[in-house]
Structure 1
Amino acid sequence: MKKSIFLISFLFLYGLYTQAQIKSPSEFLPNYGKQITFHHQAEAYFSHLVKESSLIKHQVYGQTNEERNLNVYFVSTPENLANLDQIRNNNLSAIGLSNQQNQKIGDKLIVWISFSVHGNEYAGMESAMTVAYELLNPSNKETKEWLKNTIVILDPCENPDGQSRYANWLREISGKKTHPGLSDREHMEVWPGGRYNHYVFDLNRDWAWQTQVESQKRIALYNQWMPQVHADIHEMGYESPYFFPPSAEPLHEFIDQYQKDFHFSLGKNIAAKFDKENWLYNTRERFDLFYPSYGDTYPTYNGAVGMTLEQGGIGAGREIKLANGTHLTTKDRLTHHAKAVLTIIETASNQSDQLLKGFRGFMTNSRKKAKGVYATYVMKNNPKSEQLVELLKKNGIEYSYANASQKTIGYNYKTKKDNTFSIEPNDLIIKADQPRGVMTQVLFEPNQKLNDSLSYDITAWDLPLAYGLEGYALKNSVALSTKAAIEKKQLNAPEKVYAFHIPWNNRTSAKIVSQLLQNGIKVRTAAQKAVFGDVIVESGGLIVSKGDNPTITNFEKTVGDLIQSKADYNYLTSGFSVNARDLGGENFSLIKMPKILLLSGKGVNPTEFGAVWHYLDEVIQYPTSIVDVSNLGRIDWSEYNTLILADGNYNFSEDFSKQLENWIAKGGKVIAMNEALSQFEKTESYALREFASDEEKTKSENAAKEKELKSRLLDYHNHERRLISSSIPGAIIENSIDASHPLAFGLGSNYFSLKTDARKYSLLTNASNVIYVPKNYRSYGFIGHELKKQLAETVTFAVEKKNKGTLIYMIDNPYV
């Protein structure tokens, strides 16, 4: 008996001893709080915690493009950690996402904290180490009480590539002393900055769309856990006091009262902690809960209490002097974050019963039609729906395909009216009655209802319009036979084919032509529809003929293997067409292999550049040379036939502008987007103009002067609201299309662009206005009333021919 008592005592004391070996971040990292921590150093610290404590587990959930680990750490009691998978399944089972349940394990609250989605907001990752330490620290008895009913999931750095870019830069330019003055270089981050990931994407806006590998891996794990609370830890301009919930308006109408209540009680608790320290803060300002692709809204629409925390710090370097004379240091920033985050965990643990009840009620009620107006969403069968289906899979949204026909009435996204239509076999069916019903309804809702027009970001995201689909929203459920997938017909091509036809009808088509050209295979494209027996080659359709590629060994297998991912490809047994557009005639021209140059560097909009780069490099996997604008004089222009100018202020010199004009005249192609168009607007050599005539320009200038005079007696308080009358934070605009132009091939009869700024140009003369905003256009989301009138009959995409060359003007970036 005495031996047993001795053994138990020894094990207990040994447990305390092993926990006591935990080092604080400042003990482990000598410069902690004084200098930025490298990502690998933070990983090393968390490895130390995992080794020394039984209260923490590590999981690698993916890798970045630069092969850095994406990590989460589970913090709770040893008993809870031993039952993690069953706790996870119990949580999913309670909301209809799992059928595995263990009644012996009690309910546990899941709180997920994400840090530093923007790499240059580095105080987030720094604070994650303090948060972890305080949760594990044996002398902190209070945190151990929280962990009894709570699983804490810490993601210390959502964006390791961006954080590493910023850390390398800040370390390289840092001296022994800090430089609080604004003019020091540590407050002047170089392009593109650490905010973004490898492909210069803003991961904070990628939660729903999951274009980037970090988002894809993180949200796959998130949807396996479905936490009740999620906090996204950010920084903002260094002069701004700390922000925490409650959030600002607009709040989406689907947000539950339980979520608002927790925001309010949490806000009071954090405020009490900050008041004791005399720290300044604000709530209910600027950061709203509306656009569904943020780290606060995406969890919110998935039943959690989602939130953003913002600490002033961007541009602060290691230390900066504020306008009030105080100094803001790295230590200050991480300390504020740690205090707020620990308060979130404390408040959540203390209100675990209310949170679990509210979360489960939200998810259960999300299946009810009462949540929203529409019960079913139907997308007419279209090759473009492949990409939409991929999005649904990533978000865990259930879907099926019609297996029969049925006439019904639904809201037509394009006409904005209720129309009678027929559901046909293979149409895509998405029902609101599913476990993730609210997220489904938010993503597919035809009309986003703003209760305040001062929105932080995009105010419309209608998925059918974004994917170019004919879609309908139905108020009732459809009693219709469905199937899980579309049966793919096996194409039995003969041993000898004359040519292959690859339809030009979705993003996969672009990837296919990319692969064909890179493999030295010649490809033709159809200017107009051509009919070959029962095969219809549409305008823009791709043709790979044996006659163009006589040196390819085993032509049928080589080409067939490259185009397998395009399920709707076909083959021709003859080049003789039914409608006098034979394969060897003028209707089919060879595609000239693009040799692409993409400009980067200071003045170029990082995210717009990143969208283009990601599309070329990842989506269609096409080789692209990227050159910094500062190195323009070193370019051998004979190596390129295509120049892409993403949105940006390029400020080309007069000499370079003339050089560029000569290059275009000799056959070069320029694709210019958004602000890059100003390089061509300011010279008489090109057709691009903001105004159609001098009279129109004078009229606009006079109207602006009159408005300025009238504003002299307006009150100051409503200044910001008056400004939005000419603004567009992010709205969808209906466009008309010249479907006969090659630039419009594959787009259908109309096009919907996402417009995020007020830039506009009149319809061009001596050029092709391929896609333009018609006089009485439809729009979705918020557009200031003054700007809305001015956008009518403006161009969106235009093509201008200059001798042998071409300019493609894109007012809006089609990749965002």
Structure 2
Amino acid sequence: MKNLFLLVFLASFTLLSQSQTQLDYYLPQNTSYNSNIPTPQSVIGHEVGKWHVTHDKLAQYMYALDAASDRITIENRGTTFEDRPLLLLTITSPKNHQNLESIRKAHVDATNNNNAVNISEMPIVVYQGFSIHGNEPSGSNAALLVAYYLAAAESDDVKNLLDNTVILFDPSFNPDGLQRFAYWANTNKSNNLNPDPNDREYNEVWPGGRTNHYWFDMNRDWLPVQLPESRVRIQTFHKWLPNILTDHHEMGTNSTFFFQPGIPSRTHPLTPKLNQELTRRIGDFHANALNKIGSLYYTEEDYDDFYYGKGSTFPDINGSIGILFEQASSRGHIQESDNGILTFPFTIRNQFTAALSTLEAAKTMREDILKYQHDFYKNARAEALKDNGKAIVFGNEKDAASTYHLAEILKRHQITINEVKSDFTSNGKKFKKGYSFIIPKNQKNARLIQAMFEKRTSFQDSLFYDISAWTFPLAFNLDYDENVSTANIGNEVTDLQLKTGTVTSKSNYGYVMQWHEYYSPKALNTILNANIRAKVAMSTFKLNGTTYDYGTILIPVQNQSKSAEELYAFLTEVAKESHLQIDAVSTGLTDGIDLGSRQFRALTAPKVAMIVGEGVSPYDAGEVWHLFDQRYNMTLTKLDTESLTRTDLSRYNTIILPSANLSGSAAEKLKAWVGDGGTLIGFENTVRWLSSNEFMKLDIKKLELKAKHISFEQKDDFSGAQLISGAIFETKLDRSHPIAFGYKNETLPLFRGNSIFINADKQSYNNPIQYTKNPLLSGYISKRNLDSLANTVPFQVQRLKRGKVVAFTDNTNFRAFWYGTNKLMMNAIFFRDEL
């Protein structure tokens, strides 16, 4: 009888949940709606919430609104990796649309110390963005309703709102991920909705729909700006400088609804206190709106405003107010939760309600928020004025490309940068014209510059929702000085260009290529895959007045598959495409090892595979895939764990295993392959797996965490304070070791996000990378972990029969902007036989 009652209840609830997908479940009923504006159902073919909207249907509806409404204009700002459009709707009154560019210019001009601006007559600008994580779909599905409401509602309140507000409306931050998740949820939906969380509908397959095409968490890319989706939204942000930016997310099914502010003690110190006070006032509007529909919510818990690379925090260092919404996720259409049966329409309604309460707050608080933005830049200019005559210089005299890519990020953030007037030295580092740039401190975005360049090691709180350090020149492994004279400033950079690659001349003897430049691996891969013989120098030498470092690549002219003329033409194109210089030589005699020396070792083309699938971190795997595919134009085969034991691995000489924990059968398969001569490269958590499965013998420190005088209430904070959520540490390099080829300095900053500490090998030459005695450069680490980290090693390589196993405790490819350590993995691949 009990089970019968439950079945009847669920059946009736299913019918109820389906009936709730009507428009009147979501929309305010205190207004009439323009019948000439198409409803979502009339375009996408179903009521909002019945199915998960696919991105193509979402885009189709947004174009339909643009065609029907004089309140909306639409633009396609670019495409994703999968060629989906990155749409932006501008929503405001018809009158404002007629003067939109004038409104934008006046809005931005007001941040440029224009005291003549009359705030009382200025519209406020709100950027509303949805579902940057594709499997958090209630945001983008709510976007259908928000856009319809703003286009069709005819009340005086809505007309007044549109007269006083310009809304930049991004219906899907992550089109590729949204499409992937919608496919999963829809293809696994039953006609009789099943709330059982064990159902396949609520457990999407690896890698899930959260990420974009290359499996990136795009909500961490607002500051690095490495992805096409990020680049268009950052361009929009700086073009308009919105006053409020909202970021609609989802969280665990058993939660309720969260809105900011987050935990007060975890706000970045560079964020003005007034920012958080205004955020709290805006929160009152959310609370009032959610109260009216009876939804539970909370604030000032769980989340923080520390890392400026998140969508809800990036605005805070740019004079705006970022607001995070987190809605409990149904992860499908209907699911059991601690708060009862959670339906997809209910999650959509909460997001819709918060979107409207944001606009109500913007309209009501318009003058206060506009004044806050103007004062933010006024105060920033006053602070910057104190640094007039001072500048930041950054560069690498041997690597123009890495320097360029940091400059590229700065330009995307509309930070003024200049050329170096002429070569100069500061603090023992040479800053070479063409290989360095200089940033005047006295400029509008001085606070953003400080946030990107600062090294911070003291904190109010010891817990972080995301990373605690992101110092950009350290991420790029560039020399820099934060206090040089502006007397070194050359022309402002208005047209940033990557250095043109060249071959110095034609040779009938040979060519040499230094390994310092960022795109050296791209060049070598092209050379080797064209069946051109190449060798690597295991020692330094001098030739024609130039000192050639460890890792220099030699390409002989004789006995190649191409004639001397063909080889010259081929290398000219390689140099051009890889933005580096290849030097022609006419003799094998050098000051040091001669070009025919045994210290030049023959290289073979890499045949690389990477293991992906269940048990592997999709973030780490995606970063490797992106690096190969987008930066170095290298072929990378992705091997799924599900079929690994059935795959012929003999066609690969290198296999990469990102942070992972695989089965015993996979371990045996890989061990046999390594034994036959393969090179296995493992990162982060894979290190423990390699050790426990006897691929290599590692002396990993065992750390015991003992709590003293810690209450039950404090236990989560106590254990959380021991996490290394993301900080930067100094290592010392043995530059003669192949893993360090291409690095000119004796030290290298590494990003670390785990507590895997390997004791150094007894033989010093087996520790080519080692943490220094006092390694912390920037970020948070507990004293216990810092003491444990000192003098340990992040890299080890050991033989296993005929093959080799390489272990990195750290992620050398973190979030695609840690350019400075990309070459470590490339060295392990190209110079695998010499490790």
TM-score by shorter chain over 0.5: yes
**Paired position in structure 2 for 1:523:** 534
**Paired position in structure 2 for 1:694:** none
The answer to whether 1:40 aligns with 2:49 is no
Moved more, 452-461 or 121-130: 452-461
Amino acid paired to 2:552: G
Aligned to 1:233, the other structure's residue is in SS state strand
The answer to whether 1:578 aligns with 2:590 is yes
User: In the superposition, relative to structure 1, how do residues 591 and 390 fare at CA in structure 2: closer, same or farther (>3 Å)?
Assistant: farther
**Paired position in structure 2 for 1:83:** 99
**Paired position in structure 1 for 2:416:** 398
The answer to whether 1:617 aligns with 2:629 is yes
- After superposition, residues 482-561 of structure 1 pair within 5 angstroms as 482-484=490-492, 493-496=504-507, 498-547=509-558, 549-552=560-563, 554-561=566-573
**Paired position in structure 1 for 2:720:** 724
The answer to whether 1:389 aligns with 2:396 is no
Aligned to 2:656, the other structure's residue is in SS state strand
Shift of 1:574: 2.0
The answer to whether 1:125 aligns with 2:144 is no
CA distance in 2, matches of 1:243, 1:195: 19
Moved more, 331-340 or 517-526: 517-526
- After superposition, residues 43-442 of structure 1 pair within 5 angstroms as 43-96=59-112, 107-249=122-264, 250-313=266-329, 316-324=331-339, 326-369=340-383, 376-382=391-397, 383=399, 384-404=402-422, 427-442=436-451
Aligned to 2:794, the other structure's residue is in SS state strand
Shift of 1:243: 0.9
User: In the superposition, relative to structure 1, how do residues 576 and 212 fare at CA in structure 2: closer, same or farther (>3 Å)?
Assistant: same
User: In the superposition, relative to structure 1, how do residues 270 and 724 fare at CA in structure 2: closer, same or farther (>3 Å)?
Assistant: same
CA distance in 2, matches of 1:48, 1:351: 32
Residue pair 1:600, 1:628 contacting (<8 A) in 2 also: yes
CA distance in 1, matches of 2:459, 2:792: 26
CA distance in 1, matches of 2:48, 2:454: 47
CA distance in 2, matches of 1:580, 1:395: 46
2:667 alignment partner, one of 632, 641, 657: 657
**Paired position in structure 2 for 1:804:** 802
Moved more, 270-279 or 480-489: 480-489
CA distance in 1, matches of 2:585, 2:139: 62
Shift of 1:651: 2.0
Q: CA offsets, 1:200-225, max 9 Å, x none?
A: 00000011112222112221232222
Shift of 1:774: 2.9
Shift of 1:421: 7.3
**Paired position in structure 1 for 2:784:** 786
CA distance in 2, matches of 1:618, 1:372: 42
CA distance in 2, matches of 1:512, 1:397: 31
**Paired position in structure 2 for 1:416:** none
Amino acid paired to 1:723: S
Moved more, 421-430 or 677-686: 421-430
Q: CA offsets, 1:71-101, max 9 Å, x none?
A: 1111011121122223222223333499xx9
CA distance in 1, matches of 2:135, 2:441: 39
Shift of 1:424: 6.5
Residue pair 1:381, 1:428 contacting (<8 A) in 2 also: no
CA distance in 2, matches of 1:465, 1:259: 29
Shift of 1:19: 4.3
Amino acid paired to 2:783: H
Shift of 1:801: 2.6
CA distance in 1, matches of 2:689, 2:275: 48
CA distance in 1, matches of 2:668, 2:76: 53
Shift of 1:520: 3.2
Aligned to 2:370, the other structure's residue is in SS state helix
2:601 alignment partner, one of 589, 609, 627: 589
Shift of 1:642: 0.5
Moved more, 618-627 or 133-142: 133-142
Shift of 1:289: 1.1
Q: CA offsets, 1:576-599, max 9 Å, x none?
A: 233241222222222211111111
Q: CA offsets, 1:391-432, max 9 Å, x none?
A: 212222211132147787xxxxxxxxxx68787655421123
Shift of 1:759: 2.2
Amino acid paired to 1:752: P
**Paired position in structure 1 for 2:759:** 762
Q: CA offsets, 1:162-203, max 9 Å, x none?
A: 111111111111111221122111121211000000000000
- After superposition, residues 470-489 of structure 1 pair within 5 angstroms as 470-474=479-483, 478-484=486-492
CA distance in 2, matches of 1:81, 1:158: 24
Residue pair 1:647, 1:676 contacting (<8 A) in 2 also: yes
Shift of 1:64: 0.9
CA distance in 2, matches of 1:560, 1:498: 16
Shift of 1:153: 0.9
Shift of 1:119: 0.2
User: In the superposition, relative to structure 1, how do residues 255 and 373 fare at CA in structure 2: closer, same or farther (>3 Å)?
Assistant: farther
CA distance in 2, matches of 1:407, 1:292: 32
Aligned to 1:311, the other structure's residue is in SS state strand
Amino acid paired to 2:698: L
Residue pair 2:657, 2:683 contacting (<8 A) in 1 also: yes
User: In the superposition, relative to structure 1, how do residues 353 and 102 fare at CA in structure 2: closer, same or farther (>3 Å)?
Assistant: closer
Unaligned runs of at least 5 residues, structure 2: 1-30, 815-835
Residue pair 1:371, 1:438 contacting (<8 A) in 2 also: no
CA distance in 2, matches of 1:275, 1:505: 60
Shift of 1:549: 2.6
Q: CA offsets, 1:501-528, max 9 Å, x none?
A: 3221132212222232333333322111
- The count of corresponding residues between Structure 1 and Structure 2 is 770
Residue pair 2:429, 2:479 contacting (<8 A) in 1 also: no
Residue pair 2:417, 2:438 contacting (<8 A) in 1 also: yes
Residue pair 2:606, 2:654 contacting (<8 A) in 1 also: yes
Shift of 1:781: 0.9
TM-score scaled to structure 1, two decimals? 0.89
Aligned to 1:42, the other structure's residue is in SS state helix
Amino acid paired to 1:429: I
Aligned to 1:558, the other structure's residue is in SS state helix
Residue pair 1:674, 1:813 contacting (<8 A) in 2 also: yes
Aligned to 1:471, the other structure's residue is in SS state strand
CA distance in 2, matches of 1:471, 1:173: 53
**Paired position in structure 2 for 1:715:** 711
Aligned to 2:522, the other structure's residue is in SS state helix
Residue pair 1:725, 1:787 contacting (<8 A) in 2 also: no
Aligned to 2:393, the other structure's residue is in SS state strand
- After superposition, residues 726-741 of structure 1 pair within 5 angstroms as 726-741=722-737
User: In the superposition, relative to structure 1, how do residues 362 and 496 fare at CA in structure 2: closer, same or farther (>3 Å)?
Assistant: same
User: In the superposition, relative to structure 1, how do residues 659 and 333 fare at CA in structure 2: closer, same or farther (>3 Å)?
Assistant: closer
Aligned to 1:158, the other structure's residue is in SS state coil
2:454 alignment partner, one of 406, 425, 445: 445
CA distance in 1, matches of 2:433, 2:343: 62
Residue pair 1:575, 1:584 contacting (<8 A) in 2 also: no
Shift of 1:785: 2.4
TM-score scaled to structure 2, two decimals? 0.87
Moved more, 41-50 or 636-645: 41-50
**Paired position in structure 2 for 1:9:** none
**Paired position in structure 2 for 1:563:** 575
